[in-house]
Amino acid sequence: MDNRIMDCLKSSQGYVGQNRAIPGEWKEKARRLCWEYNQSAPDQQTRSELLKQLLGTCHPLTFIEPTFRCDYGFNIHTHGLAVINYNCVILDTSPVHIGAGAFIAPGVCLACAGHALDPEQRAEGIGTSRPITLEEDVWIGANAVVCGGVTIGKGSVIGAGSVVTRDIPAGVVAAGVPCRAIRPVTEADRIPPEQMAF
């Protein structure tokens, strides 16, 4: 039974399931490692070792500022430089793929997990889950929420406070509740060197 549940949690298709059936030790391991990580001194060696134990795939250029929380950890995969700022939460009840060059601002929540809409089923612990993919060079602004089943395309920027419920195409600035593409990222968005203070 545990193997079948693990297969569902790691599925790229998502699932509907009984949350009470998921072995508690899977979540407990993540809680313990997150606690250790959040209590650790800012020594990159110690933090890197803890991230290797926590995350499914941890690229060496993965930087996460405490505090950080996740459900399981084994479903989080970084594929290059990933900078995850303070107070981020990843509800990784399905796979979360974070592409190279990702910047995730403070307070962001990536939430694969959902619940039954029917109150009786919700009270019984019936939940839903769908994967999240951030392609390369994505930047997510502070306090944004990315919901399960969403892919954010390469090079896109998500505005602060947005709620992303649908896929976002590559190369756009997107914002709002619900989040939608506003305009493309263009050459005009480059900061001229003469404006740089240092």
Asked, for residue 190, whether it belongs to a domain, the answer is: no
- Tens digits of residue pLDDT in 52-65: 999 999 999 999 99
pLDDT, mean of residues 169-174: 98
Asked, for residue 157, whether it belongs to a domain, the answer is: yes
Task: Give ∠ CA 18-23-24 in degrees, rounded to 5.
Answer: 105
Asked, for residue 191, whether it belongs to a domain, the answer is: no
Q: Domains in the chain: how many in total?
A: 1
Q: Got the DSSP string for 110-124? A: EE-EEE-SSHHHHHT
Q: Indicate the average pLDDT of the chain.
A: 96
What integer pLDDT is reported at residue 45 of this predicted model? Answer: 86
Can 79 be counted among the known catalytic residues?
A: no
Per the residue annotation, which of 77, 79, 97, 115 is the catalytic one? Answer: 115
Asked, for residue 193, whether it belongs to a domain, the answer is: no
pLDDT, mean of residues 5-12: 95
Asked, for residue 196, whether it belongs to a domain, the answer is: no
Domain limits for position 148: 2-184
Asked, for residue 155, whether it belongs to a domain, the answer is: yes
pLDDT, mean of residues 126-144: 98
Q: What single-letter amino acid sits at 2?
A: D
Asked, for residue 195, whether it belongs to a domain, the answer is: no
**Measuring CA to CA, how many Å separate 165 from each of 19, 177, 196?**
22, 9, 36
Q: What is the CATH number of the domain that holds 118?
A: 2.160.10.10
Asked, for residue 7, whether it belongs to a domain, the answer is: yes
Residue 99 has pLDDT above 80, yes or no: yes
